[in-house]
Amino acid sequence: MSPQVRLANEIAVQFRHQPPDAAAAAIAAHIRTFWEPRMRAELMRWVEIEPESLDPLAREAARLLRG
Amino acid sequence: MSLLKEPDLGTPAKAGPATVTVEVDGLPVTVPEGTSVMRAAALSGIEIPKLCATDSLEAFGSCRLCLVEIDGRRGTPASCTTPVSDGMKVRTQSPKLEKLRQGVMELYISDHPLDCLTCSANGDCELQDMSGVVGLRQVRYGYEGANHLAEKTDTSNPYFNFEASKCIACSRCVRACGEIQGTFALTIEARGFASKVSAGGKAFMDSECVSCGACVQACPTATLQEKSVVQLGMPTRSVVTTCAYCGVGCSFKAELRGTELVRMVPHKDGGANEGHSCVKGRFAFGYATHPDRVLTPMIRERITDEWRPVDWDTAISYTAAKLRDIQSRHGTGAIGGITSSRTTNEEVYVVQKMIRAAFGNNNVDTCARVCHSPTGYGLKQTFGTSAGTQDFRSVAKADVIMVIGANPTDGHPVFASRMKRRIREGAKLIVVDPRRIDLVRSPHIEATHHLQLAPGTNVAVINAMAHVVLTEGLVDRGFVADRCEDFDTWAEFIARPENGPEAVEELTGVPAEELRAAARLYATAGNGAIYYGLGVTEHSQGSTMVMGMANLAMSTGNIGREGVGVNPLRGQNNVQGSCDMGSFPHELTGYRHVSDDVVRGVFEEMWGASLLPEPGLRIPNMFDAAIEGSFRAIYVQGEDIAQSDPNTKHVTAALTAMELVVVQDLFLNETAKFAHVFLPGTSFLEKDGTFTNAERRINRVRPVMPPSTGKHEWEIVAEIAQAMGYPMHYDHPSEIMDEIAALTPTFAGVSFEKLDKIGSVQWPCNENAPEGTPIMHMDGFVRGKGRFVPTPYVPTRERSTRKFPLILTTGRILSQYNVGAQTRRTGNVAWHPEDVLEIHPHDAEVRGIRDGDEVVLASRVGATSLRAVLSDRMPVGVVYTTFHHPVTGANVVTTENSDWATNCPEYKVTAVQVGLRHAAAPADAARDETVLPEMAE
């Protein structure tokens, strides 16, 4: 599994206690704050090629990151 | 005894507002109530002769040398045990006192070797001094009677001798071992003339002694003496500096003859240690001049080539050219670096500056990534800044101390001594740890509760404690209302039944009633203080746990005054400093995000360079990017990532994939095996700068000798930056600190001049707090309101399985430090010559393992072999080892799992199997995965 997918899924599970919209926003904010751009780009690539590998909340966060 | 005589007022200071005025030899002096006559006299400038008294120990009153006369009182009381009272008139000199003191000294000298001229303590002996002070001119008893002169010398300890024939039985060593260190290894054996100091009837090396040196420090004669002094003679000069081992950051006097270091003596004025030390800081400095040190730069084209020694200019230009070449072919972001928690603030600062300004990216990280990065995240989210809340002294005001995932007696021994003293005074102790660490039960110490939780369940336990606080009405409502926000959301979460002690009992292994009792104790006993270590942070939910502890402390009002707080016990000497100095890829100095245009603009103007607003790669991300191909070069300052970072195979694959690995270190470490450039670093004895310890205390590190490499590390870094085309130059490290102060609000008031003047300061140090801030968040949190954050428990992905049924947790021991690069090159190997695997007798028995057997330790990522030691410190199903020796390479078995927020590795939970190593297999065969199928499942 791609490290970025694994990391994004691990972040996502920490925010499951929140309402989905808030959780996705929090995950996106976390990734924006701490991830280097090429990591974010790699995450976006996986969203495109294998979206099912991502937690739904992580997928939604990626959508928010893409803007 | 020490070379530079610090004032010794005879007995400890007494605190309190009430004072009394007395007259000593006609001189009036006003002192706090309860002060001894001896101390009052010393404060008025009159030194009363003494032998058994010293101001680091409570008065004992055995030597009878400090007798005085007091108007209106009969006899001649001992001044050390007699407290002053208002209006008291004391005489310290009279013919009667003179005669009594001479009589006492005659008795001492009649049973003492008369070898002063050849004695190792000549010139540094209180017995010698007092003989002169009392005017001893004869010994009427002769020297032929019964005596102790034939007592044998115990040389078993690597660092000091016990020359019993010179002992005057003053008990200072015995009391120091108990009162200061808290180990109680020494005693006075037998009675009367036969009484003598004894390490429990054993040789020192075989005893409970932990070699902290407190007894040596307290000894007034040559009885307990450093071997280095015996061999080299008395030092002739002294430099006050800071220890380079753990995050306690003890101050020491480095005592030398010329440029040869004779001994390290703990400094009484050191804010962190106040005159105490441990075996590492006190004695284990030999690595600094070890023949393994590499003193010349070296380069090589390929890691299979021999190293080629070169001069500094060649090494620097080669490094700069290679870095620029790689950037030209692979992009600006293809290189980066790691700063070290073992170097000074100034050295760290210039490395991150080089990376941000000269490399032109934010690919800088620090070894705190693998230890306390969750502290940075968790405390910033809740309190607003990334640091512990208290000074060490604060523990003396704690009523209940909760130690979570830390082993202070091994990892932070000098602070542990402070903590144990407070517990002996009556403070309660709660230990939360899978292992039964020494603090759980040791002489005069017993934890009220030991929550022996299953590894990986920290968050479930801390949530359950908070659940008890909330549901049993123990919340400090006033504090929460005045000082905090988001309480209601958190309260709704934490009150859920799934967070209750009964609900998590099976998961955590902690009996619900015990957990409830511990929570009640923490919430109601008065001042509650939390101290924690890597057993909190090095988990997949390390950051969550830090926030969980902050929630618990806020909910009970245990923040913002002495005796309370949430305090990380930092592993390495300058972990706090390296983080403060902008080593994280997303933050500039003072924990300010790189995306903040205003902050970044200030740096750009000062540095004359354009900075990127995006975070850079963290260490694990650098490894991943190296293997993927986009990260091609790394600059590693004072960190052995090939030994200390998890999943060694992954790390070495990343290093091998890079075109350029630059290692700046003292020794050719494991990482250097993959390096193309080796830049020799300087030891702490050669450095000039500052360290910041776990209590945010900025201490001076002063050079004891010139750099044996010919260059300071900050000079090397600045010259590489210059060679890359970015102008960076400093004439002195104080200029670097001045730049840090100009750029960092929390350091605005820090300068070498101030530190040299007042000793040390704790940040924030600025116009609001010119002499620093011992306790944080007193009037408000750094972020304004303390923020409650819900912390749901999420189990780690790492699970025990049929193939890997045990859980491995790793840690450290007292005598060794980190990857052992320093301590393995000292006499400390006498205590820990190899890493061993502690395994519960039950787990050993079912595998046919006996104590001392060589075993294979295997996880899903790798295997190694080491010797088994049977121990019931861990529960059944948990094994434990250390990572001090590269031959074992414990991180061969640790995995890629990490904290969700920071990528801090999950060192504390690895599913493993353990089996006997076949006798025919070579010792390193375990690293070959082919051994795995042979192990019992």
Two tokens, residue B582: 């902008």
User: CB of B496 within 8 Å of any CB in chain A?
Assistant: no
B541 interaction partners in chain A (CB closer than 8 Å)? 14
Provide, rounded to the nearest whole percent, the portion of chain B with pLDDT above 70: 98
Residues on chain A touching B794 (C-beta within 8 angstroms): 13-14
Contact check, Cβ <8 Å, B615/A3:
no
pLDDT-derived band at B3, boundaries 50, 70, 90: low
Distance from CA of B3 to the nearest CA of A (A): 51
Inspect the interface and report whether the beta carbons of A34 and B618 lie closer than 8 Å: yes
* Residue B865 at interface with chain A, using a CB cutoff of 8 Å: no
User: How many structural domains does chain B have?
Assistant: 5
CATH number at residue B179: 3.30.70.20
Question: Is the Cβ of B572 closer than 8 Å to some Cβ of chain A?
Answer: no
Give contacts of B792 with chain A, Cβ < 8 Å: 14, 16-17
* CB contact (8 A) between residue A36 and residue B614: yes
Look-up: residue for tokens 């947790």?
B809
In a shared domain, residues B57 and B79: yes
**Has residue B918 got a pLDDT over 70?**
yes
| Dist. CA B156–CA B154, nearest whole Å | 6
How many CB atoms within 10 Å of residue A50?
12
Locate B854 and state its tokens: 């060589």
**Residue B475's domain is classified under what CATH number?**
3.40.228.10
Q: pLDDT at position B913, please?
A: 96
Whether B471 shows a pLDDT value over 60: the answer reads: yes
Is the CB of B790 inside 8 Å of chain A's CB atoms? yes
**Chain segment B633-645, per-residue pLDDT in tens:** 999 999 999 988 8
Spatial distance between the Cα atoms of B713 and B636, rounded to a whole number of angstroms: 12
pLDDT tens-digit profile of B561-583? 999 999 999 888 999 999 999 99
Distance, CA of B664 to CA of B713 (rounded, Å) = 8
For residue B540, give the chain A residue with the closest CA. A10
Tell me: pLDDT of B886 over 90: no
**What is the distance between the alpha carbons of residues B465 and B548, in angstroms, rounded to a whole number?**
10
Q: How many CB atoms lie within 10 A of CB B296?
A: 15
Nearest to B815 by CA among B788, B833, B837: B833
Residues of A in contact with B490 (CB under 8 A): none
Cβ pairs A/B, distance under 8 A: 50
Query: If you average pLDDT over every residue of chain B, what do you get?
Result: 95
Mean pLDDT within B398-406:
98
Beta strands in B670-738 (DSSP E): 677-680, 689-692, 697-701
* Domain extent at residue B112: 19-133
Ranges B380-394, B492-506, B631-645, B881-895: which has the least confidence: B881-895
User: Tens of pLDDT along B840-855?
Assistant: 999 999 999 999 999 9
Residue B2 lies in a domain: no
Residue B176: DSSP 8-state: I
How close, in Å, is residue A42 to chain B by CA atoms? 11
How far, in Å, CA of B453 to CA of B460, rounded? 10
Cis previous bond, B886, omega within 30? no
Tell me which residue has tokens 């995240």.
Answer: B377
Task: Examine the domain organization and report whether B584 and B564 are in the same domain.
Answer: no
Closest Cα in chain B, distance from residue A10 (Å): 6
Indicate whether B235 belongs to any domain: yes
**Residue contact B585–A36, C-beta within 8 A:** yes
| pLDDT for the residue numbered B1 | 42
B553: distance to nearest CA of chain A, Å?
Answer: 22
Q: Are B167 and B275 part of one and the same domain?
A: yes
Check pLDDT > 80 for residue B867: yes
By mean pLDDT, which of B493-507, B661-675, B917-931 is the weakest?
Answer: B917-931
Instruction: Summarize pLDDT for B403-462 with one digit per residue, the tens.
Output: 999 999 999 999 999 999 999 999 999 999 999 999 999 999 999 999 999 999 999 999
Q: What CATH number did the domain enclosing B902 receive? A: 2.40.40.20
Question: Residue A52's domain spans which residues?
Answer: 3-66
Please tell me whether residues B398 and B350 are part of one structural domain: no
Mean pLDDT of B377-381: 96
Phi, psi dihedral angles at B845 (to 5 degrees): -60, -45
Reported as a pLDDT band with limits 50, 70 and 90, residue B888 is confident
User: How do residues B329-364 score in pLDDT, each as one tens digit?
Assistant: 999 999 999 999 999 999 999 999 999 999 999 999
Helix axes B512-524, B501-508, angle to 10 degrees: 120
Residue A36 C-alpha, separation from nearest chain B C-alpha, in angstroms: 5
Determine the distance from the C-alpha atom of residue B310 to the mean position of all C-alpha atoms in its chain, rounded to a whole number.
36
Q: Round to the nearest angstrom and report the end-to-end CA distance of chain A.
A: 25
Residue B930: is its pLDDT beyond 60?
Answer: no
Chain B hits for A37, CB-CB cut-off 8 Å, are 614
Q: What is the mean pLDDT of residues B867-874?
A: 96
Interchain CB distance below 8 Å, B362 and A36? yes
Average the pLDDT over B587-603 and give the result.
97
Mean pLDDT within A10-27: 96
Assess whether B180 and B277 both reside in one domain. Answer: yes
pTM, two decimals, is 0.95
CA-based nearest residue in chain A for residue B492: A17
Tell me the average pLDDT across B516-529: 98
Q: Are residues B583 and B721 in the same domain?
A: yes
Interacting residues of A6 by C-beta distance below 8 A, sequence separation 6+ = none
Which three-class secondary structure string do you get for B403-447? Answer: EECCCHHHHCHHHHHHHHHHHHCCCEEEEECCCCCHHHEECCEEC
CB within 8 Å: B493 and A37? no
Nearest CA to CA, how far is B377 from chain A (Å)?
11
Locate the chain B residue with the closest alpha carbon to A16: B792
pLDDT digits (tens, 9 = 90+) for B254-271: 999 988 999 999 999 999
Kindly state whether A14 is in contact with chain B, defined as any CB-CB distance less than 8 angstroms: yes
Chain A residues inside the 8 Å CB shell of B544:
14
Complex ipTM more than 0.95, yes or no: yes
What pLDDT is recorded for position B15? Answer: 87
Quick one: B30 and B121 in the same domain? yes
β-bridge mates for residue B188, sequence order? B197
B603 in a domain, yes or no? yes
Asked whether the beta carbons of residue B593 and residue A39 sit closer than 8 angstroms, the reply is: no
Q: Is A37 on the interface with B (CB under 8 A)?
A: yes
Of A45-54, B275-284, B742-751, B917-926, minimum mean pLDDT range: B917-926
- The better pLDDT of the pair B15, B353 is held by B353
CB atoms within 10 A of CB B922: 9
For A40, counting Cβ atoms within 10 Å of its Cβ (0-12 exposed, 13-18 middle, 19+ buried), the class is buried
Interchain contact, B901 vs A14, CB within 8 Å? yes
CB B169: neighbour CB atoms within 10 A?
20
Judgement on whether residues B556 and B598 belong to the same structural domain of the protein: no
Q: Do A34 and B586 touch (CB under 8 A)?
A: yes
Same domain, yes or no: B177 and B249: yes
Q: Where a domain ends, among B568, B585, B603?
A: B568
Q: Which chain A residues are within 8 Å of B624, Cβ to Cβ?
A: 3
Q: Which residues of B touch A34 (CB under 8 A)?
A: 586, 615, 618, 901-902
Assess whether pLDDT exceeds 70 at residue B936. no
Q: What share of chain B is helix, strand, coil (3-state, %, to 5)?
A: 35, 20, 45
Chain B stretch 609-628, residues whose beta carbon is closer than 8 A to a beta carbon of chain A: 614-618, 620-621, 624-625
Whether residue B557 is found in the same domain as residue B586: no
Residue B929 has pLDDT above 50, yes or no: no
Question: What is the predicted pLDDT for the residue at B931?
Answer: 46
How many domains does chain A contain in total? 1
Domain check: are B352 and B387 in the same one?
no
A30/B544 CB distance under 8 A: no
Q: Are residues B540 and B464 in the same domain?
A: yes
| DSSP one-letter code for B572 | B
Task: Say whether B900 and A36 touch across the interface (CB within 8 A).
Answer: no
Could you say which DSSP state residue B306 is in? P
Q: Choose among A14, A17, A37: nearest Cβ to B614.
A: A37
B625 contacts on A by Cβ (under 8 Å): 38
Report the range of poorest mean pLDDT among B128-142, B339-353, B466-480.
Answer: B128-142
Does B731 score more than 70 pLDDT?
yes
The predicted-structure confidence for B186-238, as pLDDT tens digits, reads as follows: 999 999 989 999 999 999 999 999 999 999 999 999 999 999 999 999 999 99
Q: Tell whether the model's pLDDT for residue B928 goes beyond 80.
A: no
